[in-house]
A = this chain, B = another copy of it.
Amino acid sequence: MGIVRSPHRPESGPLADEAAAVARGRGVDVWEASSWDLTEVDPCLDGTDVVLCFGGDGTLIRAARVASPHGVPVAGVNLGRVGFLAEFAPDDMGPGWQALLDGNYWVEERVTLQIDHQRQGERIGSHLAINDAVVGRGPANHIVRLNTWVGGQYLTSFAADGLLIATPTGSTGSNLASGGPVIPPDMAVLVLTPVLPFVSFRNPLVFGASTQIDVQVSLGSAPAGKEAVLSVDGGPAVAVQDGDRLTFRGGPMLARFARVRARNYFHASLVPKLQRGTLLTPLAPDTPSPDG
């Protein structure tokens, strides 16, 4: 068993140590790592049954990127806000945690997203997303034109802040704010959702995971330096130049999650997770305006 903790959440350290101790007490081989430094765990993964992660959905995504190519499922203890991907809340690690140690879990396989970045006919970058990728305007406020092909057929051009392409996993993330649909985790589809379209087609489009989506970025007469950007799983922005082509399709591997909950867990927890609670508690109605 591997155990990954998020340095960003101080409580993850003691929880991870305790989990490691319990697992070792039951004779399980355990390795530990920080979610910010997962490069060294690669050699350990081939002999690993499952990776337990203490952190938010971001921690789980980072672990899944590393573990999934080895066919190893990850399971999360949610220390973040929404926790769509996590299997446990930090305070109910009783029977579910026992089931995980006993190997009584099922493995959920989810489609990933492969992104290829081409410039003048040459591939200059390649990325794998668990959640989503966004191509669009950078910090400068100018309209980007995004010419789009589906399976080699021209679809339309968007004038928008950007286009978001999400996996079912990412469909409950940024995709929701742009009006995109919720996709069940086990469906082999991708969704393309326009982000703040200005005057162009507004509805999301669903595609089979084997469909290739090409997006060519056109910056028109934008001044030099006003480049577009690509962001994968909410990570750092990659510069995209006028004329660059981005190709999106289902990834070559599946993301794997170890589940101890029932197979209908997704729709059982979907809406309560989205309806405020921990995500956004309002202030008291008579809170005075701050002095700044």
Contact = CB atoms under 8 A, between A and B. Distances in A.
B155 A184 contact: no
Contacts of A145: 280
B179 A203 contact: yes
Contact of A177 (B196, B235, B282): B196
Contacts of A221: 8-9
Given A118-B291, A245-B291, A245-B292, A208 B181 contact: no
B292 A120 contact: yes
B181 A196 contact: no
Interface in A191-233: 191, 195-208, 211, 214, 216, 221, 223, 229, 231
* Count of identical protomers in the assembly: 4
A267 B181 contact: no
Nearest to A276: B199
Nearest to A281: B157
A180 B247 CA distance: 24
Interface stretch (A18-26, A86-94, A97-105, A135-143): A135-143
A141 to B, nearest CB: 3
Interface of A: 8-9, 117-123, 134, 138-142, 145, 147, 149-157, 159-161, 174, 176-184, 187, 189, 191, 195-208, 211, 214, 216, 221, 223, 229, 231, 234-235, 237, 243-245, 247, 264, 267-272, 274-276, 279-280, 282-292
